[in-house]
Structure 1
Amino acid sequence: MKAFYDTGELACVALDAVTGPQVFLSGFPLAGSDPEQGQQFLLDHAAEHGHCVLYTPDDSLSLTDLGVLLRSQQVGAARLTRPLFVKEEWLESQYFRDHLPLEGGSD
C-alpha cells in the first residue's frame, strides 16, 4: 500500500493486488479480482447509481465521484485488480492521473 500527498494532505492511497488490504464496494472485492470482472462490476455499479465513469489511457476505469480507480497489476502469470482511492481533483487532472502508480512494488 502506498500513500500520496498533495500540499500535506492525503490525495491517493494505492493498494496492492495481493497484500491489499482488501476493500469491497457493494460486496465486490476490489483488490485481487479478475480485471474484466472488476471493470464490468464498476460499469454496472455506475449505471445503477449514476456515477461518473472515466477511462484512463492505460484502460483503467474510474468512478470519479467515488474516487475509485481500478488498475491491474501483474502477479506471476495473472493480472489482478489493484484499487486506488484518489481525490476527485486528481482524477479530473490528466497530469495527476498520468502520474498515479500503474503497477505494484516499485511505483
Structure 2
Amino acid sequence: MDGLRLVGQVPSKLAVLFIDYVVSRGLRDDVYFSQEGDPGADELGVVLRAQRAGDILLTRPVFVAREWADRVYDTSEGLIPDEEWRVHA
C-alpha cells in the first residue's frame, strides 16, 4: 500500500493515515468502520484490526479475496469467519 505500514501500529494513528490513503485514491465512499471501530475498505479488501499485545493495542491487517470484500469490515454480515472477530490476544 505504497509504503503505508499496516502491522504493529497505534490503531488511532493508522486509522487517520489509512483514511487519507483511501481518499487520495478516489475511494472516499469506501472507508467504513466495523462495529468494533476498526477501519476497512471493500475496494481494497482489507480491515485494520486492533489486537492486544500485553497492555498495548497494535494493528493487524486482515486481507481478503475480492469475493469476500463486500462488507469486509462488518462483524455480523460480512464474510470474514466469526473466529477472526473473536481474536484479541
Query: Mind listing any 5+ residue stretches in structure 1 that lack a counterpart?
Result: 1-24
Residues of 2 paired with 1:44 and 1:100: CA distance?
Answer: 29
Taking structure 1 as the reference length, what is the TM-score of the superposition?
0.65
Count of aligned pairs between the two proteins:
81
1:92 pairs with 2:75: no
Whichever of the two has the greater Rg, that structure is 1
Q: Which has the higher strand share?
A: 1
Aligned match of 1:4: none
Residue aligned with 1:92, SS: coil
Query: Mind listing any 5+ residue stretches in structure 2 that lack a counterpart?
Result: 72-76
Aligned match of 1:49: 25
Deviation at residue 64 of structure 1 after TM alignment:
1.1
CA distance 1:45–1:100, shift in 2 (3 Å) = farther
Residues of 1 paired with 2:4 and 2:78: CA distance?
Answer: 29
For the Cα contact (< 8 Å) 2:45–2:68, is it kept in 1? no
- Give the letter aligned to residue 43 of structure 1: I
Taking structure 2 as the reference length, what is the TM-score of the superposition?
0.76
Residues of 2 paired with 1:64 and 1:54: CA distance?
Answer: 8
Identity %: 27
1:101 pairs with 2:75: no
- Give the letter aligned to residue 41 of structure 1: L
RMSD: 2.0
